[in-house]
């Protein structure tokens, strides 16, 4: 995986994040979105193109994962079988996972991202925390083997995806 292949860049990014973190503590530590990556050097990626392709692939994976989970939980009512995939969903459907790949200005050719992402960064970032919350509801429903609640949670997750796409992705 990309992150493992780039130890030097990862170290750079970690140091940058730590320094940024120090400066942001106190100022707005409460609910500030992670900083917008201004250039590829602040990220684990080797190029902007790589970041765009990575985020598109990861989003496609997310879609596949959700389809599979719907099958596990809604069709098969198999919370046990779904557990590893739910853990993966909870790790991936997050701000922390996706925001580093949205480097400032990486819209245009080869991407469906709208430039508004970087004009309204905090709002864009909130789209991922909204998704995190909806995913938590889904995970709780699965843990309780409440399949009706899980079915409702899937709809909510889907709405969260679509709401961000409507604002920040070209169809
Ligand atoms: C906070 C915003 C946001 C959320 C939430 C979000 N997406 Fe997206 N999604 C985007 C953006 C922006 C793009 C366009 C990326 C690009 O082309 O550079 C995209 C693109 C995609 C793509 C197309 C990838 C490709 O092949 O080019 C898929 C599939 C996708 N999203 C699925 C999902 C699913 C499923 C969810 C919910 C579980 C979701 N997205 C939630 C912003 C979001």
Domain residue extents for the chain: 2-168
* Residue 164 Cβ < 6 Å to ligand 1: yes
Measured distance between the N- and C-terminal CA atoms of the chain, rounded to whole angstroms:
29
Instruction: Indicate if the pLDDT at residue 1 is higher than 70.
Output: no
Give yes or no for residue 23 having a pLDDT over 70: no
Distance CA 43, CA 40 (A): 5
| Residue among 54, 89, 161 to mutate when testing ligand 1 (max atoms within 8 A of CB) | 161
At 33 the pLDDT is 82
Rounded mean pLDDT, 60-75: 98
In this prediction, residue 22 carries a pLDDT of 46
Decide yes or no: CATH 1.20.120.10 for domain 2-168: yes
Contact status, residue 113 vs residue 106, Cβ threshold 8 Å: yes
Instruction: Using the mean position of ligand 1's atoms as its centre, give its distance from the Cα of residue 165 in Å.
Output: 6
Residue 45, ligand 1, Cβ within 6 A: no
């Amino acid at each position: 995986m990309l992150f493992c292949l780039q130890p030097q860049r990862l170290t750079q990014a970690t140091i940058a994040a730590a320094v940024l973190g120090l400066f942001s503590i106190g100022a707005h530590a409460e609910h500030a979105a992670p900083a917008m990556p201004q250039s590829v050097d602040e990220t684990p990626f080797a190029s902007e193109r790589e970041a765009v392709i990575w985020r598109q692939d990861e989003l496609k994976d997310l879609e596949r994962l959700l389809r599979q989970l719907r099958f596990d939980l809604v069709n098969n009512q198999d919370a046990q079988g779904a557990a590893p995939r739910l853990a993966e969903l909870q790790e991936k459907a997050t701000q922390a996972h996706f925001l580093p790949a949205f480097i400032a200005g990486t819209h245009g050719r080869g991407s469906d991202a709208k430039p508004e992402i970087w004009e309204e960064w905090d709002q864009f970032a909130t789209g991922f925390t909204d998704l995190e919350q909806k995913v938590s509801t889904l995970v709780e429903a699965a843990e309780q083997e409440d399949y009706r609640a899980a079915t409702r949670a899937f709809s909510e997750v889907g709405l969260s995806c679509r709401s961000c796409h409507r604002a920040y992705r070209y169809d």
